[in-house]
Structure 1
Amino acid sequence: MIGRIAGIILEKNPPEVVIDVAGVGYEIQLPMTSFYQLPDIGQSISIITHFVVREDAQLLYGFVDKFERTVFRELIKANGIGPKLACTILSGVSARQFMQSVIHQDVTTLVKLPGVGKKTAERLVLELKEKMQKLSNETPDSAMSDTLAQIEVPSYETPAQDPKDEAYSALMALGYKQAQAEKSVKAVAKDGMSSEELIREALKSMI
């Protein structure tokens, strides 16, 4: 099991980051709530990870802290929820917001997430309410803070990319349809916005 990756950021292609560890580049998928907090390319980072082994692939998912990973792991135990959908859910809402939505049986918020229909939302509440309540009671607020360990080092030069194109790609990677992704990005786009700002605002507009 790979529980943590520490190295230098080589690439950021939301929702994926590539981290160089002793010359080996690890591709890691992150919920966008974690991706927003990554430092710049060329800086050092330490990320909590969850390793998934499938017949056709070996995948790494990354998180800001152990609390977020714990929520992710509880999510993928639920019927019909795989790692990709769990990552998408935690891109639309933070781990703490998801926990509170389940505890308070807020199906309205959950169904606005891609891939989560009413039946899935109701099943999540039914299966996870007790676990989320227990996690809430056991986890201090300080453990839910969104922080990443990082050390600044000189950044590398990277080719400029169109922020809107990056935002479209990220939203579609998270499960949104192309038309929905383009519509939401165009609705929130303002001059000078970065791709991460566009993604954040587009996700907010759809929740």
Structure 2
Amino acid sequence: MIGRLRGTLLDKQPPWLVVDVAGVGYELEASMTTLVALPGLGEQISLFTHLTVRDDAHLLYGFAREQERALFRALIRVNGIGPKLALAILSGMDEAAFIRCVMDDDVKSLTRLPGVGKKTAERLIIEMRDRFPHWEQPLGMGLPGEGATVPGSTITRQTAWADAEAALVSLGYKPMEAAKMLSGVDETLSTEAMIKAALTRRLAG
């Protein structure tokens, strides 16, 4: 089992990233919460990881915080919740927000997440209430990189917007829905910040 990676960030194409560890490039999938927290390419990073072994692939998931990984592992033990949906949930809200939804029976907020219907939200609340690891309440986000701007031309901004839209679609949103979520978002933001802003607006309803 690969539990943690420390190395150089080589590539970042939400929701994917590549980390060079002693000359080996590890491809990982991560939530937008983690991606927004990452520094620029070429910088050193350290991620908690979870490895899923399937018949056709070995999939590695990366997390900026151990608490986020713990919640991911708790989510994928819920009936009907796979890694893709777990990452979508973690992209839409942090650990503290998810805990509040469960403790407050907030079905409405959970159903704003892609792939989470009313029945799934109700199942999450019922099953997760007794499955939380014994962690302290996570602190406020304050993630480095959030709000970072993308220098350059209109083409660069358009590329960032297109990448953000593609990432939202990969999380489970329909193309028209993704475009609507990004409507009005500051186009000078980085791709990751655009996505996070769109997800925050979506959650706020």
Sort the TM-score into its range (normalised by shorter chain). Answer: 0.7 to 0.9
The residue aligned with 1:199 is: 195
Distance 1:182 1:147 in 2: 26
* Matched residue, 1:166: 163
Q: Secondary structure at the match of 1:164?
A: helix
The TM-score, its normalising length taken from structure 1, stands at 0.86
Residue aligning to 1:105: 105
Quick one: distance in 1 between partners of 2:65 and 2:101? Answer: 20
Question: In the alignment, residue 175 of structure 2 is paired with which amino acid?
Answer: Q
Is the contact made by 1:168 and 1:178 (CA closer than 8 Å) also made in structure 2? yes
Task: Give the gaps of 5 or more residues in structure 2.
Answer: 144-155
Root-mean-square deviation (CA, aligned residues, Å) is 1.8
The equivalences for 1:25-44 within 5 A come to 25-44=25-44
Q: Which amino acid aligns with 2:69?
A: R
Match of 1:52 in 2: 52
1:19 equivalenced with 2:19 (yes/no): yes
Supply the AA of the counterpart residue of 2:15: P
In structure 2, the residue matched to 1:155 is none
- How far apart are 1:147 and its partner, in Å? 8.8
Q: Give how far 1:191 is off.
A: 4.3
Q: 1:95 to 1:50 in 2, by over 3 A?
A: same
Deviation at 1:18, TM superposition (A): 0.4
Deviation at 1:96, TM superposition (A): 1.9
Q: Tell me the residue number matched to 1:74.
A: 74
For the Cα contact (< 8 Å) 1:64–1:147, is it kept in 2?
A: no
Moved more, 52-61 or 97-106: 97-106
Please list every run of 5 or more consecutive structure 1 residues that lacks an aligned counterpart in the other structure. Answer: 149-159
Between the aligned residues of both structures, percent identity stands at 46
Q: Which amino acid aligns with 1:205?
A: R
* Partner Cα separation in structure 2 for residue 77 and residue 24 of structure 1: 30
TM-superposed CA distance for 1:146, in Å, is 5.7
1:79 and 1:63 map into 2 onto residues whose CA distance is 22
Match of 1:178 in 2: 175
Query: For residues 66 and 191 of structure 1, do their structure 2 counterparts lie closer, same or farther at Cα, with a shift above 3 Å needed?
Result: closer
TM-score between the two structures when normalised by the length of structure 2: 0.87
Structure 1 runs of 4+ aligned residues shifted over 2 Å read 143-148, 188-191
Partner SS for 1:71: helix
Q: Distance in 2 between matches of 1:10 and 1:191?
A: 24
Secondary structure at the residue paired with 2:18?
strand
Aligned residues: 190
